Amino acid sequence: MTGYAELAKRFGTPSYVYDLDRVAAARRDLLAALPEQVELFYAAKANPHPELLRELRGGEGRRCRAEISSTGELAAVLGAGFPATDILYTGPGKTEGELTEALTAGVRLFSVESLGDLRNIGAVASRLGVVADCLLRVNSASASATSSIRMTGLPSQFGFDSETLPELRDRLLDVPGTEVAGAHFFPLSNAKDEDSLIGEFRHTIEVAARLQAELDVPFRFVDIGGGFAAPYAVTGNRPRYGALRAALEDSLDEHFPGWRGGEVRIACESGRYLAGDSGTLLVGVVNLKESRGRRFVILDGGINTFGGMSGLGRILPVSVRPYDEGAPYEQIASLVGPLCTPGDVLGRDVELPALAPGDTIAIPNAGAYGPTASLLMFLGRPAPTEIVVRGEELVSVSRIRHVRDYEPAQEL
């Protein structure tokens, strides 16, 4: 790949560099870990860059579908070539306008978070003269994995509490414009190891089968979620899941015996695993400072550039990869950005090589939850440049720009 130093010099910092070869490798690895019949959704929120979306959709053979949660993401995935029939629309706050746009575009598969959400979808679908297939998102009362980031089992705006679904059955099946097509689960994120991931999937499949029996509704589609792990803004490699395929096949054979023949379609979803290790964030050193015994490296990009998780304190500290792979780490300091807020911290107590103003550092595994998950408009600083490469080939260079549109005066 073109050297980071050369790219930083040519296009400036802060900059993201995305390598499409690594995106393709992640898609290939994850699809290889899943049974042939299992479909894979890419969560566009992880990185909706057009080049990454096109790469993840793929060409011939098994391709990713798209999971979205807004009309902005809808436009992005349609623009990248995903057909509307390959899209799953999710989220707890779907508005009438959003639903109208999605259904008009041809989207027919929706994840439903509540009875009210289902009725909203049905009202718009009925007005447009179509029927929406709806997956009941399930907030299961129990779980398998005891570690990782739990996404179920607690009071939440996401999904139906599993214990309430049987009593809601008749009302769920009686919403004009909709058909209950199956269930959607997302019980955890970033499983600590393959055993934890397999255990959670087995539990989810068992719950899905039990729910199908309790509701007495034949499921045509079951999305069992994700939880695939990947390093985020730290050094490391994506795990390979060598035992997952056989474990899923065994569990699905037991609980959904017709799945191999298409009696019920099974899907998984992933965001960070597919996009994360494709990206490297290049940030420039603006200043060095010491305060009361602590060192600070002040950068030209902070949580306005990489704030999706760093701003929530969930990835501190990040790690830094020096250009010279043999360069020793010579100091420990906090990496802070240029914003006028003490919350603009990318990492505390980070091991760093010797640095001086004008140097550039590289943060690895930063391909997910970057610019579009950051405080891009805060203080009016420009968005980072996004550089896309494929091996040695420079594919594109772009930057998100914000433009204020005024309503015509006569409409005020």
Whole-prediction pTM? 0.93
Per-residue pLDDT of 121-174, as tens digits, reads: 999 999 999 999 999 999 876 655 444 444 554 546 767 887 889 899 999 999
Tell me how far apart the alpha carbons of residues 77 and 68 are, in angstroms, rounded to a whole number: 8
Q: Do you find a cis peptide bond into 317, omega within 30 degrees of 0?
A: yes
- Three-state secondary structure string covering 364-408: CCCCCCCHHHCCCCHHHCCCCEEEEEECCEEEEEECCCCCCCCCC
Spatial contact of 132 and 108, defined as CB atoms under 8 Å apart: yes
Return the SS3 of 42: strand
Which is nearest to 118 in space by CA: 78, 169, 72?
Answer: 169
Domain boundaries for CATH 3.20.20.10 within the chain: 34-270
Which one-letter DSSP state was computed for residue 411? G
- Percentage of the chain lying above the pLDDT 90 cut: 77
Contacts of residue 216, defined as CB under 8 A and 6 or more positions apart, other chains included, come to 169
Q: On the CB side of 165, how many CA atoms lie within 13 Å of its CA?
A: 27
Compute CA distances 102 → 17, 84, 187, whole Å: 31, 8, 26
Radius of gyration for the alpha carbons in the chain, expressed in angstroms and rounded: 23
Q: Please give the structure tokens belonging to residue 268.
A: 């998984």
Indicate the class that CATH gives domain 277-398.
mainly beta
- pLDDT digit string, tens, across residues 239-298: 999 999 999 999 999 999 999 999 999 999 999 999 999 999 999 999 999 999 999 999
Residues of the chain with CATH 2.40.37.10: 277-398
> What does the pLDDT read at residue 58?
85
Q: Residue 49: how many CB atoms within 10 A of its CB?
A: 26
The CATH fold assigned to 34-270 is TIM Barrel (3.20.20)
